[in-house]
Structure 1
Amino acid sequence: MKEIRTVDAVGQRLCHDITQIVRGVTKDARFRKGHVICEADVPVLLSLGKDHIYIWDADGSQLHEDEAADVLRALCQNAHMHATAPKEGKIELVADCDGVFQVDADRLNAVNEIEDMTIATLPQNMPVQKGRHLAGMRVTPLFIGKERMEEVKKVAGSEPLLRIRPYRKNLRVGVVTTGTEVFLGRIEDTFTPVLAAKLKAFGLAIAAHRLTDDVTEHTQAAIEELLACGMDIILCTGGMSVDPDDRTPAAIRAAGVDIVTYGAPVLPGAMFLLGYAEREGRQVTVMGLPGCVMFDKATIFDRILPRAIAGDAITRREIRHFGVGGLCMRCETCHYPVCGFAH
């Protein structure tokens, strides 16, 4: 790279983009890398504050910012995503399918700790749709030594830093609604329609529905029946608090479900239950949903459901670490998942 005066630059080729910012109008490259400067360009460049420009003077020891960004891109990119063309030294990755976005945070942080490296991503485990921008990456200087980027490769390791877990197709979801008052028709079941709407957002429908009273054995039998029917996900509503007649957790356990957690440091959603059952080589996700799922816009269920659809097993330790960011701010207009709740 060689610095020369702009007034002497006619006929020279730019080795970097030059950005023009007009507040409220545009922020884009006015001149692209590789542009050959003509007489008419000189006053424009001067108006952009460019009294000097840089032209390419390669010696083989450095990478241009676009080339360095592509090194970072290669460390991040995985299946189900594509890269944009470099623009002003930055490359972005875009989702090719709907799914759950995940980051190897420890390794990505190790890369960002290296001077001049920048990789910015969406939050961990965020549900994304096809076309969503996932991450952007660039280096700070216009040119950087090749040996620096080799160091970055060693720190990052051989596996991609990012991934999308695509949503599984044709899942069968079963619902068990508990409560003597609903079973006997004293009140209307208003919980199941909420679940149907949340599932519909992912292209799913309720495949089977069972209604039981508060007798533990009856709820257990309904869960076992849905397991035998080949459900992939089973959602149990009602009876999830600590009241003596709230017996759904006991019924789930009695049905042979391995309980990951009953309770979570998330509000709303503290009485949430998550477990798994093995049936014919399949792992069935079983959830006990507290009443808040019925009337709160965003709860722990909204955090867990996308990952269950993607087939991502969740550990007790992970859920016990949901506390930071686990308090919903109850905004007047809910923007979940574009917020800090449970991310």
Structure 2
Amino acid sequence: MLKKIKAEHAVGSRLAHDITEIRPGEFKGPAFQKGHEVCQEDICRLQKLGKNHLYLIDLEDDEIHENEAAAILAGGLAGEGIRWEDHPREGKIGLHAAIDGLLTVDLAALAAFNMVDEVMCATLHSHTLVHKGQLVAATRAIPLVMKRAPVERAAAIAAGNGGAVSVKPLKKVSAGLVITGSEVYRGLIQDRFAPTLSAKIIALGSAVTGTTFVPDDEEMIVHAIRKHLNHGCDLLLISGGMSVDPDDVTRKAIRMAGAEEVHYGAAALPGAMFLVAYIGNIPLLGVPACGLHHRVTVLDLVLPRILGGERIGKKELAFMGHGGLCQDCPECTHPHCPFGKG
């Protein structure tokens, strides 16, 4: 319950909330913080900030202050790999990455949370690579005083599956490369796939433990795949042979090698002919030729998610369609761009 009083009558009272000051282009923040005891010298500044009246709070048993509400909300939202501090600023609490890793947002839980009246949470896009300490989400109760029940209901919704916002560490894997193509195998052209794929894997903290070059021959591709698997690789990237040309035999060879789960085609450009397969629990990623001609492709969307422990299937590849159209910007700013951020 709020009691409204004139500012000049508030001397000796303690502020019930932060009072924000905005100086365009210079400053936005609390001019006075919650709990500040108003003195005579404050009256003029308060009035310049447009605060001719202040509010005193007398909470009912079923009411809650915005700062306490924010803490309850943050506690429900925060999942694995998230840290937050119970020091609200202007009623808001930020959620930060506790580790380097891949941000994962439970989109359904976040939407259900935000459907509760008078609460909100905003996040970065799910599947964004983040660094330890980075702000990844923020939450607040919108009014200064609200009923406790909706706050607790929203927090329970967010916490339902272990928190709506989490950061997963990237696994450090041993990756094998199989570079297909008769022209590369015979030395007619110089390979550029191996260094390109190796750089992407190393940038994510993993290592390439072997590279094999094979012609467009089914049996030789199968042998190369099995060799890497027998040597204990955790991830296999196979380049070339992913189009619809009759001599592109890589997809058939992947099945012959024992892949029972094969998903060919991704709703993203560049990278529509991308392939994800599994032999047991080992993921095989088939990288089409666009991986040589574009700095960023669907591989850059899938690889971090694989290393974050996610199993990529038809549904995940289909959902990439929203936001999956690269704009081929003259100066690429990935990952700080909309690509793959649907």
TM-score over 0.5 for the alignment?
yes
| 2:276–2:313 Cα contact (<8 Å) kept | no
Inter-partner Cα distance in structure 1 for 2:148 and 2:197: 53
Q: Is 1:290 equivalent to 2:292 in the alignment?
A: no
SS at match of 1:7: helix
Shift of 1:153: 4.2
Residues 294-314 of structure 1 show CA distances to partners (whole Å, capped at 9, x for unaligned) of 221221100000011112111
Task: Identify the residue that residue 236 of structure 2 maps to in structure 1.
Answer: 234
CA distance in structure 2 between the partners assigned to 1:221 and 1:273 by the alignment = 19
The letter of the residue matching 1:8 is: H
- Superposed counterparts of 1:190-209, under 5 Å: 190-209=192-211
Q: Partner of 1:260 in structure 2?
A: 262
Residue of 175, 178, 185 corresponding to 1:176: 178
Structure 1 letter corresponding to 2:193: F
Greater mean deviation of Cα atoms: 297-306 or 199-208: 199-208
User: What secondary structure does 1:328 align onto?
Assistant: coil
Give the RMSD, CA atoms, in angstroms.
Answer: 1.5
Aligned position for 1:19: 20
1:154 CA drift (Å): 5.0
Q: Secondary structure at the match of 1:251?
A: helix
Residue in structure 1 matched with residue 30 of structure 2 by the alignment: 29
Q: Is the 8 A contact 1:112 1:119 kept in 2?
A: yes
- Mapped contact 2:119–2:151 kept (Cα < 8 A): no
Deviation at 1:59, TM superposition (A): 3.0
Alignment check: 8 A CA contact 2:77 2:159 kept: no
Looking at structure 1, the residues matched to 195 and 42 of structure 2 have their Cα atoms a distance apart, in angstroms, of 63
Percent identical among aligned pairs is 40
Superposition deviation, residue 116 in structure 1: 1.1
Q: Deviations over 1:251-297 (max 9, x none)?
A: 1111112333111121100110001112xxxx211000011112212
Equivalent position SS for 2:286:
strand
Question: Deviations 1:129-163 (Å, cap 9, x if unpaired)?
Answer: 22221111111100111122233245446332222
Structure 1: which 5+ runs fail to align? none
Aligned position for 1:111: 113
Amino acid at match of 2:32: F
On the 8 A contact 1:273/1:287 being kept in 2, the answer is yes
Q: 3-state DSSP class of the match of 1:217?
A: helix
TM-score using structure 2 length: 0.95
Residue 4 (structure 1) aligns with: 5
Quote the residue 2:169 is aligned against: 166
Structure 1 residues 231-240 or 292-301, which shifts more?
Answer: 292-301
Please say if residues 298 and 336 of structure 1, whose CA atoms lie closer than 8 Å, have aligned partners that are also in contact: yes
Contact conserved, 2:101 with 2:129, CA < 8 A, in 1? yes
Q: What CA distance in whole angstroms lies between the structure 2 residues aligned with 1:78 and 1:157?
A: 8
> How far apart in 2 are the matches of 1:17 and 1:195?
51
Give the conservation status (yes or no) of the 8 Å contact 2:102–2:304.
yes
Unaligned runs of at least 5 residues, structure 2:
none
- In structure 2, what residue type is equivalent to 1:168? K
SS of 1:4's partner is: strand
- Residue number in structure 2 paired with 1:300: 298
| 1:321 pairs with 2:319 | yes
Partners of 1:151 and 1:269 in 2: how far apart?
Answer: 42
1:60 aligned residue:
61
Q: Secondary structure at the match of 1:275?
A: strand
- Offset of 1:335 from its aligned partner? 2.1
Query: Secondary structure in 2 aligned to 1:198?
Result: helix
Distance 2:160 2:318 in 1: 30
Give 1:327 deviation, angstroms: 0.8
**Residue pair 2:93, 2:139 contacting (<8 A) in 1 also:** yes
Question: Which residue does 1:93 correspond to in 2?
Answer: 95
Partners of 2:195 and 2:273 in 1: CA distance: 21
CA displacement 1:65-91 (0-9 Å, x = unmatched): 111111211111112111142110011
